[in-house]
Chains A and B, each alone.
Chain A
Amino acid sequence: MAITRTDVEKIAELARLELTPDETELFTEQLRSILGHVEKLNELDTTDVAPMSHCAPAGGDAEYAKRDDQVRPSLGPQLAVENAPDSEGGYFKVPRVIGG
């Protein structure tokens, strides 16, 4: 089933993208074309194939992924908010969430 304009609006909402009507139109058309190409995967029977979520070396030692849980220095509040568009006293400031 081809993707519709309503689908695109719903995905944009999920992705937190306030698309313009022109963008919605264009993406509906382009995603339809891309998803049409993706249909090709249905040619393959993958019933007994395990999904691959990463490419750590086969038979490799994954122990390196672990480390001791030790306290280490971190950025600290002043440095952490330095790049924020808006902040106050070491906190991020955003528009009102509840009420207003």
Chain B
Amino acid sequence: MELRQVTISTLHKRISSGELRAADVCRGALDRIEQFSGLNAFITVMSDAALAGAERIDRAVDRGEPLPALAGTVIAIKDNMVIRGVRTTAGSRILFNYKPPYTATVVERLENAGAIIIGKTNLDEFAMGSSTENSAYGAVKNPWDTARVPGGSSGGSAVAVATGMAIGALGSDTGGSIRQPASLSGVVGLKPTYGRVSRYGLIAFGSSLDQIGPFANSVEDVARILSVIAGHDPNDSTSSNTEVPDFVSAIAGDVRGLRVGVPREYYGAGLDPEVREKVEAAIKTLETLGAVIVDISLPHTEYAVPVYYLIATAEASSNLARYDGVRYGFRSEEATTLKAMYSRTRDQGFGAEVKRRIMLGTYALSAGYYDQFYGKSQKVRSLIERDFSAAFDKCHVIATPTSPTPAFKLGEKTEDPLEMYLSDIYTITANLAGVPGLNLPCGLSSSGLPIGLQLIGKQFDEGTLLRAAHNLEQALGADFTPPFVGTQ
């Protein structure tokens, strides 16, 4: 059973008919995880619980019961979403032994829909990073070239899907942490609209930016997973009660007359020529399918990185204040006073990037600097949001590269935080504006690395985004199986 070659719907049919056993699908996924364990995609593999879940589905089939929408769909969960009783680390030493007493709403919804939760994927510590090198549990490797990063912070989820360890996965995206690893690893990844999906049980990073979303090998499967996890949750007051359409039917229909905006600011200095070429070719393909290409401008784009790194770090410094060695996780045993216990626990428990961001955020919020940094960045955020509102008067979706370059080498950017931050340059704007964004693989570089197109949509208009992406995916008709996987 090659999970890369099957969709959720074909798998569902074959399990329902009895042609395929869910337990065998699950065992196949577990074997694949074992086979490619060197990629370090998982922090915790949930073999027993996954097999038990699969066997429940097989028994339902034996009894002739109808199966729920995601029955037998093997799904991996980024290890910053909690599952009751299953160790959840957020990639941090400070949560090395944390067993949450409750389950995230997204996981509960997937389980109720019959999905098999196969394990918890590796990530940059507290989702802070663009390469999945900042994990206390080791770096994740890119299956297209194991000397390269898979992108981040949801690198483990992207790799799990790219290699067929799971059919789908959940990630979280604060500044591109779903779309950028999807681009670098050659899979489809969607950051939904802010508020579309409940964050109850997501370990918080930047609360005005964080959003959970799906990875899969096809746009249709992403739509299927989104349909299950979307919608208001009384446990998350920031989750919207905007009606949830059937995203699977939303992908049907063509793109004739669809206005696709191309923002000139996303095609300037720093964009790899091969990435530009493939992205422009994909946009051309949309045009041949009947879409109308429109030149647009998002004039405040160049301010997005500084705005993001002030707002995200300010929110992080507040959210991460809770890790104090008192209620859960790691505690430094060296200290004899409470204050020293806090400070040593946090210095020893957090990794370098997390500390750097806590420091930057604390500075941006501190007395005397608040207006200059945090206040200023909130105002410029308004300008960026206005750019998008104005652009969406002229077009239905916006097409850009997802990442300025294909996957970079392990260690290449770890010494220079600023350079690492710039790898999110095309993705962070969607978080600042609260709009949905999707990565679709659209070609390979000359050295055989995946290149991704980003489509950005209006708030709560994931349907149009998915329809455009589905049409393009069908027209491109490319197979993005990493050669590394094919030859094993």
A interface residues (Cβ-Cβ under 8 A, vs B): 3, 7-8, 11-12, 14-20, 23, 27, 30-31, 33-35, 37-38, 40-42, 44, 46, 49-58, 60-61, 63-67, 75, 79-86, 92, 94-97, 100
Contacts and interface: CB of A to CB of B under 8 A. Distances in A.
Interface string B417-433: 11001000000000011
A85 B327 CA distance: 7
A57 B330 contact: no
Given A12-B359, A18-B344, A41 B306 contact: yes
B359 A97 contact: no
B376 interface: yes
Contacts of A19: 347, 355
A32 to B, nearest CB: 11
A40 B234 CA distance: 40
A75 B417 CA distance: 40
A56 B208 CA distance: 9
A75 B328 CA distance: 14
A83 B327 contact: yes
Contacts of A44: 300, 303, 380, 383
A94 B339 CA distance: 10
Given A34-B418, A60-B242, A94-B338, A27 B376 contact: no
A37 B305 contact: yes
User: Most chain-A CB neighbours within 10 Å: which of B350, B358, B373?
Assistant: B358
B281 interface: no
Contact of A40 (B238, B241, B306): B306
- Kindly list the 9 A-B residue pairs having the minimum CB-CB distance in the complex, ordered from nearest: A55-B434, A51-B378, A83-B328, A85-B331, A18-B343, A64-B241, A46-B379, A52-B382, A15-B362
Contacts of A66: 237
Interface string B309-340: 11000000100010011111111000111111
Contacts of A67: 234, 237
Given A11-B366, A38-B309, A49 B383 contact: yes
Given A31-B359, A37-B306, A55-B194, A92 B418 contact: no
Contacts of A97: 337-338
Interface string B360-389: 101100100000010111111111010001
B356 interface: yes
B157 to A, nearest CB: 24
Interface residues of B, number: 77
A75 B337 CA distance: 29
A24 to B, nearest CB: 10
B135 interface: no
B306 A38 contact: yes
A25 B112 CA distance: 51
A68 B257 CA distance: 46
B392 to A, nearest CB: 11
B42 to A, nearest CB: 22
A46 B380 contact: yes
A51 B355 contact: no
Contacts of A60: 240, 242
Given A17-B343, A55-B434, A94 B326 contact: yes
A76 to B, nearest CB: 9
A61 to B, nearest CB: 7
Contacts of B460: 57
11 contacts: A16-B321, A16-B343, A30-B356, A38-B373, A40-B302, A58-B389, A64-B232, A64-B241, A82-B99, A83-B97, A85-B328
